[in-house]
Structure 1
Amino acid sequence: MENRSFEFSHALCRLPATSVTDGLRASDHGDPDPIAFAAEHAAYISALRLAGCVVNVLPADESFPDSVFIEDPALVLNGTAIILRPGAASRLGEAAALRPALLENMNDVIDLSTDGYVDGGDILCTDDRVLLGLSARTNLQGAQDLRPIVEGLGYKLVVLQTPPEILHFKTESSLIDAQTVLATPALATSGAFNGLNVIETAVGEDAAANAIRVNADVFLSAGYPKTADMLESAGYSVRILNTRQAALVDGGLSCMSLRYSR
């Protein structure tokens, strides 16, 4: 596809487990409701299909409360899956559990061999670059060991420092076209996006920055009308989705699918 950073033929998702109530979170604002989460997730899958993706849905994995956030243990570039090493101890086994599905659905699977850590939520891909933000979940050793794999797949790895108050690099940034990033004002002015156009989220709507571009559509979380209006005025097709339950366990739109082309 011409724009490999946002044009996808397929997506891989995993249903939320009822154990998601035990999911990791930086701040406790209550537990997600598994039934409400399942409804939000179903709407998310429907949106992916409406955007033109064939969506393969894996069963819930009760052993891993955060396993609905399927993007963190793997990175997909050009149809090749790289099995990562998540930085939270409770999520270390997710990569191995995901491996059979990756072997079935991807063109190739490569294991990241490292003593370090890399979370998929810290990786933002353009058509030719992989921007990796160091964070509490992704360290320099993991980034250094990922570099030769990424370069072998035709991308340049750019290592950045995520501000310490941000969980994941993509918590406050997303790619909305081949040359444009949506980011919070704090991250937009950090120098992370040199050479790219940056649209800043509206005042008071920082959480809107965790969006995803899927073919012609930009998926945006509900509750951020000013940012939605800004994007629509700039010519983007915006699809609003409820992510209230995911947000209770520090999840968002980007982490609930692996998007790729075959």
Structure 2
Amino acid sequence: MLNPTFEFTRAITRRPASTIAQGLRAEDTGNPNLDTMLKAHAAYVSALRSTGAEVIELEPLEAYPDAQFVEDTALCLPQGAILMRPGAPSRLGEVAEMAPTLRVCYDDVREITGPGRIEGGDILVTGKEILVGRSDRTDAAGVAELAEIAAEWGHTLREVFTPEGVLHFKTDCSLMDAETILATKRLDASGCFEGYRVLHVADGEEAAANAIRFNNLVLMAAGFPRTAEMLDKAGFEIAEIDNTDCAKLDGGMSCLSLRF
């Protein structure tokens, strides 16, 4: 039986659009380059497929420059999918674009109807609960509505808080296995991971905290050698992906796919 927290048979991705330079970002560190972003996206998809999973690659959405960050549009659970309600108004239309694909993949698709806001980047599904981080993009009402749906499907949800200045909860953490979390020291210091095995990213490599465990692989951003070495020594198989361009749009490894 598959472990639904990190063993998957399918993933959904979306190729970046030519309008990516219009994407949201907390601070301007320069515009992403479409050619190199497409190469990195292809390497990401190839890594997912190398585990034997089917990857559904959706076409670019020129009207939505952040649409390659598909994770924010939905939460995929074994029982069904839940369409999110992004906290960034410019991204609300991405959910409607994702819905038809999820309805093909799932018999049961629910949706967050509001008034609350919630994005997938704030949700970490572990072996025992769903952790949801309150952030600038996810509010209390959004968390409460998700908790109701999750409870119907037998899931326990726990609300936690994202550090000041951190875009999403999963900017600073990721699941390595059902009971092991990779996190920044600043997030772990909040106490939100009590009862879990926590691996800290190396000092100065905080951006490495957003990774994904996908079957036998841990996909992580390239350029963080001490964190990669630590994960390797902990027994994880690493695939390093160039995240230079996505990082300019506050994106990371988890943002680029829906996994189920």
Pairwise TM-score range, normalised by the shorter structure:
over 0.9
Instruction: Give, as a single letter, the amino acid of the residue that structure 1 aligns with 2:55.
Output: V
Aligned to 2:55: 55
For this pair of structures, how many residues does the alignment match?
260
Give CA deviations for 1:102-137 in whole Å, capped at 9, x if unaligned: 111224211112201001000000123110000000
* 1:219 aligned onto 2:219: yes
Normalized against structure 1, the TM-score is what? 0.97
Deviation at 1:19, TM superposition (A): 0.7
* 1:184 aligned onto 2:184: yes
Instruction: Give, as a single letter, the amino acid of the residue that structure 2 aligns with 1:122.
Output: D
* 1:251 aligned onto 2:251: yes
Instruction: Give, as a single letter, the amino acid of the residue that structure 1 aligns with 2:88.
Output: A
Superposed counterparts of 1:84-95, under 5 Å = 84-95=84-95
Partner of 1:25, secondary structure, is coil
* 1:233 aligned onto 2:233: yes
Partner of 2:102, secondary structure, is helix
Partner of 1:30, secondary structure, is coil
Q: Distance in 2 between matches of 1:243 and 1:153?
A: 35
Q: RMSD of the TM alignment (CA)?
A: 0.9
Q: Distance in 2 between matches of 1:46 and 1:36?
A: 15
Superposed counterparts of 1:1-262, under 5 Å = 1-78=1-78, 80-260=80-260
Which ranges of structure 2 fall in alignment gaps of 5 or more residues? none
Identity among equivalent pairs (%): 46
Instruction: Give, as a single letter, the amino acid of the residue that structure 2 aligns with 1:88.
Output: A
Is 107-116 or 12-21 further displaced after alignment?
A: 107-116
Give CA deviations for 1:188-233 in whole Å, capped at 9, x if unaligned: 1111111111000011100000010001111111000000000111
Q: Distance in 1 between matches of 2:18 and 2:33?
A: 8
Q: Distance in 2 between matches of 1:40 and 1:2?
A: 28
Partner of 1:124, secondary structure, is strand
Which ranges of structure 1 fall in alignment gaps of 5 or more residues? none
Partner of 2:133, secondary structure, is strand
Q: Distance in 2 between matches of 1:245 and 1:106?
A: 32
Q: Distance in 2 between matches of 1:255 and 1:91?
A: 14
Question: 1:77·1:153 contact (CA, 8 Å) conserved in 2?
Answer: no
Deviation at 1:93, TM superposition (A): 1.1
Which runs of 4 or more aligned residues in structure 1 lie more than 6 Å from their structure 2 counterparts after TM superposition? none
Q: Distance in 2 between matches of 1:57 and 1:154?
A: 30
Q: Distance in 2 between matches of 1:24 and 1:219?
A: 23
Is 237-246 or 104-113 further displaced after alignment?
A: 104-113
Question: 2:87·2:119 contact (CA, 8 Å) conserved in 1?
Answer: yes
Normalized against structure 2, the TM-score is what? 0.98
Partner of 1:207, secondary structure, is helix
Q: Distance in 1 between matches of 2:117 and 2:193?
A: 23
